[in-house]
Amino acid sequence: MTTENTLLSHSALSTTAPLTVTRFAPSPTGLLHLGHAYSALFAEAAATDKGGRFLLRLEDIDVGRCRPEFEAAIFEDLQWLGLHWETPVRRQSDHLDDHAAALAHLDDAGLLYPCFCTRKDLAREAAMSLSAPHSPDGPIYPGTCRNLDKTTREERITSGAPHALRLDTAKAMRTIGRPLTFTDSARGRIDVQPEDCGDVVLARKDIATSYHLAVVVDDARQGVTLITRGEDLLHATPVHRILQTLLGYSEPLYHHHALLHGPDGARYAKRDGAVTLAALRDKGATPEDIRQMIQDHA
């Protein structure tokens, strides 16, 4: 092979190999703890190891729970840890139009249906069929509203009954017409099992988007090629592959990392009042101490 050919093949490689783009996507619903620090450092390292880009996204569609002071604390904590991310930072609530366009696309394809079930209805159904299939998010929706006739739907909508919009997952898979998989860099190729997804909510009663829709649209809009997140979200990825396929987005690679556990063996979680980065900093911990604690607990 001549030098010229070698050079040519190198340049061909560098233009075709996609640049790694990762993100850390916290919700400003509380203060960050060691588990978040682990996730953020993991994501940044995954990008920088490959000369890629690291993004930060604020997942703030849950208007009732998100607070500006938590958002400010996210920036402060991550800066203190020494992370560097690109600006501007994408805030999900600034992009509801993108979510609405994706939702309209799915609706035009006849893949959504209104769901009028209340929390009480869902709890009652779940209590009546305790052996019904569950996901880590709770009982899989039994499809109560999927078969409502057109007139009933229209009457309820006209009467102002609050409703969510759900994906008809079985119909979505028929539209796609082939089995789907996704690739996790630690676990390999995984088959999407639509029956484990259920008919997920894509537009909530209170806001016309949802975690599943927003995360898929925003990752695609930001050109994210490697999605790193905790393995507690592994069960959501099949839903995301279905949505990416329906919306014509490219398939990202995933890395669902193990969750960090505290000295008592319990995993770090906001709701458990885990020790926050702010509290550790106030007690005199340095970013180096945090990295060391993460290593000790990983």
Instruction: Write the DSSP assignment of 70-134 as a string of letters.
Output: HHHHHHHHHHHHT----SSPEEGGGGHHHHHHHHHHHHHTT-EEEE---HHHHHHHHHHTTTS-E
Binding segment for ligand GLU (CB under 6 A), chosen from 25-33, 62-70, 199-207, 283-291, is 25-33
Q: Give the residue among 50, 24, 21, 18 at the shortest CA–CA distance from 215.
A: 24
Query: Which one, 53 or 229, has the nearer CB to ligand GLU?
Result: 229
- Of 20, 21, 22, 25, the one binding ligand GLU (CB under 6 A) is 25
**DSSP letter, residue 271:** G
The candidate with the shortest Cα–Cα distance to 61, out of 33, 30, 99, is 99
Q: Which stretch binds ligand GLU (CB under 6 A): 19-27, 179-187, 198-206, 285-293?
A: 19-27
When binding is defined by CB under 6 A, the residue of 229, 241, 255, 256 that contacts ligand GLU is 229
**Could you say whether residue 34 binds ligand GLU (CB under 6 A)?**
no
Which residue's CB is nearer to ligand GLU, number 113 or number 254? 254
- Residue 109: which region, alpha, beta or left (left: phi > 0; alpha: psi -120 to 50)? alpha
Closer to ligand GLU by CB, 25 or 117: give it.
25
Q: What token pair was written down for 118?
A: 């209340």
Q: Residue 293 is encoded by which pair of tokens?
A: 């604690």
Between residues 25 and 197, which has the closer beta carbon with respect to ligand GLU? Answer: 25
Nearer to ligand GLU, 39 or 169 (CB): 39
Chain positions 109 to 128 lying near ligand GLU, rule: CB under 6 A, are none
Nearer to ligand GLU, 69 or 149 (CB): 69
Rounded CA-CA distance 285/256 in Å is 28
User: Which of 22, 26, 42, 214 lies at the binding interface for ligand GLU (CB under 6 A)?
Assistant: 26
Nearer residue to ligand GLU within complex by CB, 59 or 199: 59
Select from 20, 34, 26 the least CA-distant residue to 89: 26
- Least distance from ligand GLU to the Cβ atom of residue 29, Å: 8
Please provide the size of the chain in residues. 298
CB 116 within 8 A of CB 144: no
Whether the Cβ atoms of residue 73 and residue 298 lie closer than 8 Å to each other: no
**Would you give the DSSP letter of residue 240?**
H
Q: Total binding residues for ligand GLU by CB under 6 A?
A: 7
- Site track for ligand GLU across 54-93, x = CB under 6 A: -----x----------------------------------
In the stretch 184-223, what mask flags binding to ligand GLU with x, by CB under 6 A? -------------------------------x--------
Q: Which is nearer to ligand GLU, 126 or 247 (CB)?
A: 247
Bridge partner residues of 54 (DSSP):
22
Interface residue list for ligand GLU (CB under 6 A): 25-27, 59, 215, 229, 233
